[in-house]
Structure 1
Amino acid sequence: METVGTSSTNDELSHQVSLDIEILAQSVKKELQISYAFSDTCCIYKVPERLRELNEKAYTPRLVSIGPIHHGKEKLKAMQDHKIMYLQEFLAQSEVSVEGFIELIKEKETRLRNCYAETNGFSSEYFIKMILMDAAFVIMFLLKYSFTDFRGSRDSIFYPPYKRFDVRVDICLLENQLPFFILEELYRLSTIFGNSPKPTLIELTHRFFTVAFDLWAVGDILGKVDFSEVKHLVEFLSTYHQPPKQNPKEKLEVVAAPSVKELHQAGVKFVLGSSKNLLDIKFDRNKGTLEIPRLKLEDRTEIIIRNMLAFEQCHDMEYVYVGDYICLMGLFLGANKDVEILVENRVIENWLPSDEEVVKLFDNLNIGNLVSPDDFFFEGLIKDLNAFCGRPWNKWKATLKQNYFNTPWAAISVSGAVILLILTVVQSVCSILEVV
Structure 2
Amino acid sequence: MENDVAIAVEAMLKNAQPLFTTESCCIYKVPSQIRQSNEDAYTPKIVSIGPLHHGNSRLVTMEGHKQVYCQHFIQRSEVSLTDLVSCVQQLEPQIRACYSEKIDLTVDELVKVIFIDCCFVIELFLGHVWMRNDAIHSKSWMGTRVAQDLILLENQIPFFVFEKIYNLAFASRLNGGKLRSFMWIAVIMFPYHNKQGVLPPAGGNIAHFTDLVRYLYLPPSHRIPSRNPVPLVIGQSASELVEAGVKFTVNKPWHGIGILDLEFEHGILKIPDIVVDDSTEVWLRNIVALEQCHYPRHHYIADYVNFLTRLVNRDKDADVLIKAGIIRSTISGNDTSVAKLFKDVDKNFTVFNVNANYLEICDDLKAYCKHPCHTKMATLRRDYFTTPWKTATSIAGIVLLFLTFVQTICSILQV
Contact preservation (8 Å) 1:192, 1:198:
no
Aligned equivalent of 2:20, options 37, 45, 52: 37
1:268 maps to which of 214, 224, 246:
246
1:133–1:374: structure 2 CA closer, same or farther, 3 Å change rule?
closer
From 275, 299, 317, the counterpart of 1:338? 317
Larger radius of gyration: 1
Match of 1:241 among 208, 212, 217: 217
- Structure 1 residues 99 and 257: CA distance shift in structure 2, 3 A: farther
Q: Answer yes or no: is 1:136 the counterpart of 2:108.
A: no
Structure 1 SS opposite 2:224:
coil
Instruction: Tell me the residue number matched to 2:258.
Output: 277
State which of 84, 103, 127 in structure 1 corresponds to 2:67.
Answer: 84
Structure-2 separation of matches of 1:104 and 1:182: 9
Offset, 1:370: 3.3
Question: Residue 271 of structure 1 aligns to which amino acid in structure 2?
Answer: T
Contact 1:267 1:394 (C-alpha < 8 Å) held by counterparts: yes
- Give the total of aligned pairs: 395
2:290 alignment counterpart = 311
Which amino acid in the other structure matches residue 396 of structure 1? K
SS of 2:72's equivalent in the other structure is helix
Distance in 1 of aligned mates of 2:353 and 2:83 = 51
Which range is displaced more, 197-206 or 226-235? Answer: 226-235
- For residues 343 and 150 of structure 2, the distance between their equivalents in structure 1, rounded to whole angstroms, comes to 26
- What are the within-5 Å matches in structure 2 for residues 358-377 of structure 1? 358-372=338-352
User: 1 CA distance for matches of 2:395 and 2:145?
Assistant: 59
Identity %: 32
Deviation digits for residues 308-354 of structure 1, max 9, x if unmatched?
01111111455101110001111111122222222222111111123
TM-score, normalising length from structure 1?
0.83
Normalized against structure 2, the TM-score is what? Answer: 0.87
Which segments of 5 or more consecutive residues in structure 1 lack a partner in the other structure? 1-23
Aligned: 1:388 with 2:368: yes
**Alpha-carbon distance in 2 for matches of 1:415, 1:423:** 12
Rounded Cα–Cα distance in structure 2 between residues aligned with 1:253 and 1:63: 38
Deviates more, 1:161-170 or 1:425-434: 425-434
CA contact (8 A) 1:302 1:361 kept: yes
> Which of 291, 294, 299 is equivalent to 1:320?
299
What code does the residue aligned with 2:194 have? A
Aligned equivalents of 2:354, 2:327: Cα separation in 1: 29
Separation in structure 2 between the aligned mates of residue 253 and residue 41 of structure 1, nearest angstrom: 31
Partner of 1:294: 273
2:199 matches 1:222:
yes
Between the aligned partners of 2:126 and 2:119, the Cα distance in structure 1 is: 11
Tell me the amino acid that sits aligned with residue 330 of structure 1.
Answer: T
Change (3 A) 1:164 1:382: same
- Give every structure 1 segment of 4 or more consecutive aligned residues whose post-TM-superposition deviation is greater than 6 Å: 429-434
Q: What residue number does 1:95 align with?
A: 78
Partner residue in 2 for 1:206:
187
Distance (whole Å) between structure 1 residues aligned to residue 64 and residue 331 of structure 2: 35
CA contact (8 A) 1:62 1:76 kept: yes
What RMSD, in angstroms, separates the aligned Cα atoms of the two structures?
2.7
The 1:372–1:401 alpha-carbon spacing in structure 2 relative to 1, beyond 3 Å, is: farther
Contact map agreement 1:249 1:377 (CA 8 A) in 2: no
Relative to structure 1, the CA distance from residue 300 to residue 247 in structure 2 (aligned partners, 3 Å threshold; closer, same or farther) is closer
Report the counterpart of residue 3 of structure 1 in structure 2: none
Q: Which amino acid aligns with 2:89?
A: K
| 3-state SS in 2 of match to 1:99 | helix
Tell me, in whole angstroms, the C-alpha distance in 1 between the residues paired with 2:231 and 2:153: 33
2:190 maps to a residue whose letter is F
1:169 equivalenced with 2:145 (yes/no) = no
